[in-house]
Amino acid sequence: ALKEKRLVQSLLTKDGKLSVVLINLQLDKKDANASVRVTEEMEVIREEFREKYPNLRIDNGGSTAFNTTLARAVQSDLTRLMPLSYIIIFGGLFLFLKSFMGASAIFILITSCLLCTFGLFGWVAPVLTPVAGFAPSILLSIMVADSVHVLVTYFSQLRAGNSKKESVSASLSLNLMPIFVTSVTTIIGFLSLNFSSSPPYRDLGNMVAFGVLLALIFSLFLLPSLLMLLPSKNAFQKSQNQWMESFAELVIRRKREFVIFVSGFVIFLAVFIPNNKLTDNWANYFDDSVPIVKLVTRIDGY
């Protein structure tokens, strides 16, 4: 093999320490799990050869292995990061709102939105790409932002001595237009991904847009209903917002200085925009602990 010029420096290194076997696959485009099944079969064969030739190092890579790695990474993130995100969000809401009831209401809201969003796409488009795995993280932040506005105003009205009904009504009156405008503009932004040439990103845009629409509807209908049903004893406690009032007074008093400082800060950071480089090196998508990244690193060494 080392005497074959067409192999050396293409499928074989000069020292003979690294060789590559290329396999062309014709995968069924209608089979969403074709890459995963091929990779799993390849891993079985790889382990058999590793046992048979323990003195050789055998790995598998390529686009099929990459697609499988991406799917596994997204699945791992969903099973690990989603529960962690829920815990952090719930803990943060409880810490800042000082209300277990308020945090629970938002928890119910975001869970309902996520279930409805993925349920709909399981009905109309049961095949989801790994890119769709980013949707829950995007939706969590948007859902919390919508509901927190309603909840904070509701608690403020309660502390002012209003009844639950009056507080809910006042909260909806004050927040209806801001939430509606924010949600509509967000929906338009994500629907613009339908102009993308990549179908997975079109699916992501449609999924997030529908989730934002659900978040809008649930924030205006489900959340107020929950506030009327759930107890709100902690909400009647007077809050100590002296530090926030002091901060607000500082900003108002030093408004010119803050405008100059922030404007200068924005210009300073904007100068570094040309340093951004556009690339599509998929090896950078994963952590160094992923086997396929280790393989690419070893190959690059040759």
pTM above 0.75, yes or no: no
pLDDT of residue 236: 41
- Selection from 154, 151, 153, 140 nearest residue 214 by Cα: 140
- What is the number of other CB atoms lying within 10 angstroms of the CB of residue 289? 7
CA distance 148 to 134: 22
Q: In this structure, what DSSP letter does residue 233 have? A: S
Per-residue pLDDT of the chain (302 residues; tens, 9 = 90+): 888 888 888 888 888 888 888 888 888 877 777 888 899 999 999 999 999 999 988 888 888 888 888 888 877 877 888 888 888 888 888 888 778 888 888 888 888 988 998 888 888 766 677 777 788 888 888 888 888 888 888 888 888 888 888 888 999 999 999 999 999 999 999 999 999 888 888 888 998 999 999 999 998 898 899 888 887 654 444 444 577 788 889 999 999 999 999 999 999 999 999 999 887 776 677 777 777 777 766 666 65
Q: For residue 161, is it left (φ>0), alpha (ψ between -120 and 50) or beta?
A: left
Structure tokens at 32: 């969403």
pLDDT of residue 300: 63
pLDDT of residue 48: 93
pLDDT of residue 239: 47
Structure tokens at 189: 């932004």
Contacts of 45 (CB under 8 A, 6+ apart): none
Structure tokens at 89: 């969000």
Say what angle helices 242-253 and 255-270 make with each other, to 10 degrees: 80
**What are the CB-based long-range contacts (under 8 Å, 24+) for 86-95?**
89/140, 89/144, 93/144, 93/148
pLDDT of residue 298: 66
Q: In this structure, what DSSP letter does residue 17 have? A: S
pLDDT of residue 270: 96
